[in-house]
Structure 1
Amino acid sequence: MSLNTRVIAALGAVVVVGAATVGTSVAIAAGQTEHSSHRATLQVGTTSVAADPLCWNDGSPLTDDQQDQCRTKANDALANGSLPQSDVRASDRIGVGVSPNVAKTGWWASTNGGSSSQGGQTSLFSYAQGPTFSGSQPAGKLLNSSGKTVITVVEIDKKSESPIAVWYFQTNTKDS
């Protein structure tokens, strides 16, 4: 028995419509009915966690006072465990992604871990405009010895060199 092209086309249409329906239903069920224009995602191994910026000034550069408040807010969130978190093993790979709007402006990412020759801070992604993903790096090179590593993602206005949005993620080192 062979299928003619008309039957194949009809089956293809049913699959496409069915996939679109399922995809839309999953997004609605997850409460994701709108696209957020300013999100960052931390990818650790095969898992990921997405977040809105912790510090944001409606798309304008953060003032010096807002930057000070941002640091305080980040330290408080770290202390009370409310930063978006992910478990990590030294054998995992870590990467960061951003929304296209963030990539268009420009961004960078770093960790407060890594070798002491780098001052305890390691670049995960140097400033760039356009790319939406940092690529992935071995976690063992990015983690600090405390077992908790903070990853900072910054959308930055290149002209003023001021942050527009700042995200913080925490990784918790687990035994391999």
Structure 2
Amino acid sequence: MSLNSRAIAALGAVVVVGAATVGTSVAIAADQTEHISHTATLKVGNSSVVAEPLCWNNGSPLTEDLQQKCQEDAQDALKNGTLPSSDVEASNTVGVGVSPNVADSGWWAFTNGGSSSSGGRTSLASYAKGPTWSGAQQANKVLNASGKTLVTVVEGDKNSDNPIAVWYFQLNTQDS
């Protein structure tokens, strides 16, 4: 008995539908309807950069030692130009977003730039639990004078001393 091309196509369709049904059933049974990502996004003007955390302890709070290593790794990456980065002009807007599971934990974001009255540190997002977007701010208010501004995003409970994850981005100031 030989199979004709119509029978083969029908069998293929049954296999594809069956696989999709099994995959969806497993996700629903696990109470997970989509892939869980652990990302932060830096949005500058009309462009964006998405990154995984530079410092992450598989969802457990970062110990003091891991936090120290994280800061050292961030400074090395900033010096070497290996942080996720975006060019920015003073007329652009800058904002930060996080994946929903990060927002559920709580998060905040800031830059090492801004007016001297703010201590050279500007908040992009005050501590928030739930919202996934910081809103957009004028770049000229969050940049530092060096031309390289570090953006830090932190996941964690505001009442805890130890963050869960930390992301770093670099803004490279361009002439307007």
Structure 2 length normalisation: TM-score?
Answer: 0.79
- Alignment partners' CA distance in 1, 2:93 and 2:119: 22
Q: Deviations over 1:120-168 (max 9, x none)?
A: 1000000010000000000000000000000000001334232100000
- What are structure 2's unaligned runs of at least 5 residues? 1-33
Structure ID, larger Rg: 2
Distance 1:59 1:167, change over 3 A: same
Secondary structure of the 2:163 match is: strand
Are 2:167 and 1:167 equivalent residues in the alignment? yes
Secondary structure of the 2:117 match is: helix
Contact 2:127 2:158 in 1 (8 A): no
Once the 2 structures are TM-superposed, how far is the Cα of residue 175 of structure 1 from its aligned partner? 0.7
- What are structure 1's unaligned runs of at least 5 residues? 1-33
- Alignment partners' CA distance in 1, 2:98 and 2:91: 24
User: CA RMSD of the aligned region, Å?
Assistant: 1.1
- Alignment partners' CA distance in 2, 1:42 and 1:104: 19
Once the two structures are superposed, the pairs formed by residues 20-59 of structure 1 within 5 Å of their partners are 35-59=35-59
Q: How many residues align?
A: 143
Identical-residue share of aligned pairs (%): 69
- Alignment partners' CA distance in 1, 2:59 and 2:66: 13
Secondary structure of the 1:157 match is: coil
Secondary structure of the 1:83 match is: coil
Contact 1:61 1:157 in 2 (8 A): no
Where does residue 82 of structure 2 map in the other structure? 82
Where does residue 30 of structure 2 map in the other structure? none
Structure 1 length normalisation: TM-score?
Answer: 0.79
Secondary structure of the 1:49 match is: strand
Contact 1:61 1:163 in 2 (8 A): yes
- Alignment partners' CA distance in 2, 1:170 and 1:147: 10
